[in-house]
Structure 1
């Protein structure tokens, strides 16, 4: 059976002013300085991704700018399709506040590797379980609609963790144990109704010493 292969990339690092707050799914810009410094990462992604793939981004400009940088680094330009279900976790009323204020509002102990627990649902916002609940069906639907195709998705740390959690049947709290760095690559495959994880948080090789 021919697999549908997914190549999920976390967007580039955002501007320092955005990193000073809990920005969630706010539309914030990528950092121009680090973008100029990350040319090797963009070239690596351009060479690592399969040709002829379908490309998807979220509605947020940081994913679309990351896709444009990969095209500029050598990947043949492709049409970008928008899939809103891969957007970052919405933090509701807590979105845009400082990290210190965010911590003060928590109702559950934070995860050891994340500012909040997987079960924390800010007022009018989402928990990680909610994110898994929208990303999982999106992946399944795309696999059914695009059998045997290669699919590139420029997404976010939260939605990529949710995708891996869906593929592996992880509990939300376990998903926060996954490191998903900016410009890292995560590869998933769906064979029939079964998921296989090719890699998580794949990064370009370090330069030779």
Structure 2
């Protein structure tokens, strides 16, 4: 039986694109992000799903709650496997600051082999998100589920489905509050939609 995964990136926080939020605490949605999450929740009412899982970060949990509120499906279950990449001391730094760090530049040119300061690699990220999806496929055989996560985590899952290395993630975007859809069954997995905006 096929399980359909709706991979949602969280709505935008106020300073998205200016600094690396990572796992920094207290990064929540501002007024624009909350409006974006509300539109995403309204859009997801057109889809068929039975459960919502979220990264534990505040911005993802807020986005997941908006989807839960509009769909009347809940409660939202937090899953560590959906968490943002562990960027360690890079979290909270502006991209201007980060671009002066050779290790950051290496991360952004050789994503398939580089690691963050904590040692997490994209292979590690792919392993955890794909293990989560495999577990949820057993729990929700023949059903649809929502996973609310982060851009690079979603990219790693999409690259895995498409048979790409992590460097393949440089070839497409996962925008805030976007929807990507993957179907998984005993036959394998396929990408149905990528980066649909609201």
Written as runs of structure 1 = structure 2, the 5 A alignment for 1:131-170 is: 131-170=125-164
CA contact (8 A) 2:2 2:184 kept: yes
Partners of 2:41 and 2:139 in 1: how far apart?
A: 29
Q: TM-score, normalised by structure 2?
A: 0.87
Partners of 1:159 and 1:85 in 2: how far apart?
A: 9
Q: How many residues align?
A: 196
Q: TM-score, normalised by structure 1?
A: 0.83
CA contact (8 A) 1:4 1:189 kept: yes
CA contact (8 A) 1:11 1:66 kept: yes
Q: Per the alignment, do residues 108 and 81 of structure 1 end up closer, same or farther by CA in structure 2, a change over 3 Å counting?
A: closer
Which of these residues, 99, 103, 117, is aligned with residue 103 of structure 1? Answer: 99
Partners of 2:138 and 2:36 in 1: how far apart?
A: 38
1:30 — aligned with what? 29
Q: Which consecutive residues of structure 2, in runs of 5 or more, have no partner in the other structure? A: none
CA contact (8 A) 2:54 2:78 kept: yes
Partners of 1:163 and 1:188 in 2: how far apart?
A: 9
1:121 — aligned with what? 115
**Quick check: 29-38 or 123-132, which moved more?**
29-38
CA contact (8 A) 1:92 1:126 kept: no
- SS where residue 98 of structure 2 aligns? helix
Q: Per the alignment, do residues 116 and 99 of structure 1 end up closer, same or farther by CA in structure 2, a change over 3 Å counting?
A: farther
The structural deviation recorded for 1:95 is 1.9
Q: Which consecutive residues of structure 1, in runs of 5 or more, have no partner in the other structure? A: 205-209
What's the C-alpha RMSD, in Å, of the aligned pairs?
Answer: 2.3
The structural deviation recorded for 1:146 is 2.5
The structural deviation recorded for 1:193 is 4.4
Written as runs of structure 1 = structure 2, the 5 A alignment for 1:47-66 is: 47-51=45-49, 53-66=50-63
Written as runs of structure 1 = structure 2, the 5 A alignment for 1:179-198 is: 179-198=173-192
CA contact (8 A) 1:92 1:125 kept: no
Which of these residues, 80, 99, 109, is aligned with residue 84 of structure 1? Answer: 80
The structure with the larger Rg is 1
